[in-house]
Amino acid sequence: MVAAFDGWNDAGQSATNVVRHLVSRSPMLEVGHINRDGYYDYQTARPMQCVIQGTRRVLWPQTAFYDITIDDSLHILAQLGPEPNYHWMEYCKESLHFAQQYDVHSIVTLGSMFAECPHTRPLPMDVSIDGEQTDPDSEYNGPIGIPHLLDALALEDGYDTTAIWVSLPQYLGSDSCPQATLQLLDELSKVIGVKLDAKDLENKAAQWRSHCDIMVRSNADLAQYVDQLEHDTDMRQHAKDITTAGAPAVEQLVQEAEAYLSDQR
């Protein structure tokens, strides 16, 4: 099962757009909903009105489940909906009931968040498997969203779990970010062991990067800020690359850091 939720856990709609991409690109069947009252504050997650063939309909916040056929041997049960405002434990138990009905053996939760990172580098990814971070430097302490709780309860119930998060440049605002969705999809491909179709996303991600380049070039202050983010990102990556290379490499890093700080005086 792959789960993504609108709201706090979905910067730039990057996580939920993974599920929307899968739904639009693969044979699928909508197989269930969580839509009972009690989960949502309707002043926060408001009902929507739409007119279909002259008939007015009111659409209430709800979670949908899709049976997506990836190939003859693999189906994904995709969960998509707004993060509930209330009764998180009961909501997660209902979600896991669907997983049990469809003989799910592993659960993947997706999330995205804003961070100080440049668009000119691969966006930072955080992955945890069965509750353990794959990168010890990425240990998180702080507020959590519904994906964190679903991951924790699924693990308690004996499921294999993977949580995949991507960070987006906060200076770009809340517009959709195809690059982040693409990276989440690529990581999901690794988890399930099947290369998922990403052609449309690859084109959209390239257009997104071009748009970001133009925006940064037209703003001198923003360009300077992105230069600083690039340097900080490269230094962190450089440090990771040489931490296991022995004392001479560590000494080299110290010298480079001292030289950089001298240049800033």
CA-based R_g, the chain, Å: 21
Report helix, strand or coil for 113. strand
- Residue-level pLDDT, tens digit, the chain, 265 residues: 999 999 999 999 999 999 999 999 999 999 999 987 899 998 888 899 999 888 999 988 999 999 999 998 899 999 999 999 999 999 999 999 999 999 999 999 999 999 999 999 999 999 999 988 888 777 778 889 999 999 999 999 999 999 999 999 999 888 899 999 999 999 999 999 999 999 899 999 999 999 999 999 999 999 999 999 999 999 888 877 776 665 566 566 666 666 665 665 5
DSSP states along 45-111: S--EEEEETTEEEEEPP-EEEEEEEEETTEEEEEEEEEPPSS-HHHHHHHHHHHHHHTT--EEEEEE
Instruction: Please give the pLDDT value at position 161.
Output: 98
3-state secondary structure of 230: helix
Place of tokens 């997983």: 99
Instruction: Name the token pair of 104.
Output: 């799910």
| Per-residue pLDDT at 218 | 94
Instruction: Provide the residue type at 83 as one letter.
Output: E
Residues 6+ apart with CB under 8 A from 108: 1, 2, 3, 161, 162, 163, 164, 188, 191, 192
What is the homologous superfamily of the domain 2-207 according to CATH? PAC-like subunit (3.40.50.10900)
Task: Count CB-CB contacts under 10 A for residue 58.
Answer: 8
Q: What does DSSP say about strands 160-169 and 106-115: parallel, antiparallel, or unpaired?
A: parallel
Among candidates 124, 122, 118, which has minimal Cα distance to 225? 118
